[in-house]
Amino acid sequence: MNSPVKIPDMSHLWMPFTANRQFKEAPRLLVAAKGMYYTSHDGRQILDGTSGLWCVNAGHGRSEIVEAISRQAAELDYAPSFQIGHPNAFLAASAIAQIMPAGMDRIFFTNSGSESVDTALKIALAYHRARGEGQRTRLIGRERGYHGVGFGGISVGGIGPNRKAFSGALIPGVDHLPHTHDLSKNANSHGQPEWGAHLADDLERIVALHDASTIAAVIVEPMAGSTGVLIPPKGYLERLRAITEKYGILLIFDEVISGFGRLGAATASELFGVTPDLITLAKGVSNASVPAGAVAVKHNIHDTIVGASAKGIEFFHGYTYSGHPLATAAILATLDIYKREKLFARAASLSPAFDTAAHKLEGGRHVIDVRNLGLVAGIELAPRPGAPGARAAEAFTKCFDQGLMVRYTGDTLAVSPPLIIDESQISQVFETIAAVLKTID
């Protein structure tokens, strides 16, 4: 136990995606973090079962990253990102390009996943325009997709509550593929479910409806994280790739969660052997130490946009903090850790133990599905009659009280620990969840 830290005045902060009134009645504050553990304000050690928000893949408080950031802050705190560069931005872009699928080696920097998504959608439109196909503006997302909270992201995203309040302002010309989760067909699958590849064929229906010549891009998370860990059925991504290629539609993989080792490879694209046209990144790119994001782009797409215009600015888009010195220093130090400690391979080698531990929950109290791949698992609970989501919310709170951080979305608990986790901590995660589920109605 560490000594408790006083809770500050909480009246001014409007917390994102939070039940503000409930939170303030029983706050959970974190005051320190190291390795696999957070320290809570009341002095307890909390095992991080979620890598923060799916982002601290190399574990907390990595001294190499801390030192790189502080050295950079002292040396060059900020450099304008338009028309002026600094070395680390170029070096960080090269380091990311090295671990992207072959040919996806042009990197555009952002500060978050939401910005990466909006950037990727704009690159897709700019690409078609540069090729003289400016009428290709339609975008296709997927039900239960999460692509951040920009207007582009919520428009292609498929989460009702995130869209409802803004429905009049969503970008026009967006369709959605069906999601691939069906408990009657693919419950309790280990890794990729057998059932569901055919759902990609719905893209043919959308193409028939609108004509391919109007469609710019399809965006999906190869593994949907935020809506409850939906693993792609075997063959599904391959079919999406084949159909998009057939019609000249760009394919965007949103790898904000699945990138940087979560599934046991640098990217889901690499793991599944399916190469999209653009990959959105954030979170693990900097181990969450400094806000950072990026879009990896096939070089021919970059070359088409950059080569198409007369000399001058080619792409009217960017952020004050694109390639920020602190972010790029953090990215370089982070990617170095991933490489040196072979953390993506570590995630792959731990995944059988993770699978075994997760599936011990199968058929347990309230559990109606366990699904997993690499170091991510979703544990779906039967909803409490008349109160969907309440059971998972209670499990989340009780886990936290028991010293374990998990996430919940709807009635699914999500587990996605840092890749430095060991086998005994993996057991601890799932045993704590099992014990907590026994205590709730």
Give the binding site for ligand PMP (CB under 6 A): 112-114, 117, 146-148, 221, 225-226, 254, 256-257, 282
Question: Would you say 149 or 381 has its CB closer to ligand PMP?
Answer: 149
Q: Find the shortest distance in angstroms from Cβ 230 to ligand PMP.
A: 11
The residue among 228 and 425 lying less far from ligand PMP, judged by its C-beta, is: 228
Quick one: 256 or 326, whose CB is closer to ligand PMP? 256
Nearest distance, CB of residue 312 and ligand PMP, angstroms: 30
Nearer to ligand PMP, 114 or 428 (CB): 114
Based on CB atoms, which residue is closest to ligand PMP, 249 or 256? 256
Least Å distance between CB 139 and ligand PMP? 15
By C-beta, is 51 or 192 nearer to ligand PMP? 51
Least separation, in Å, of the C-beta of 15 and ligand PMP? 14
Least distance CB 353 / ligand PMP (angstroms): 25
**Closest distance to ligand PMP from the beta carbon of 227 (Å):** 9
| Minimum distance from residue 18 beta carbon to ligand PMP (Å) | 14
The tokens describing 129, both together, are: 């325009």
Which residue sits closest to ligand PMP, CB atoms considered? 113
43: left (phi over 0), alpha (psi -120 to 50) or beta: left
In angstroms, what CA-CA distances link 237 with 14, 62, 176, 200? 39, 35, 15, 8
Q: Compare residues 254 and 277 and give the one whose CB is closer to ligand PMP.
A: 254
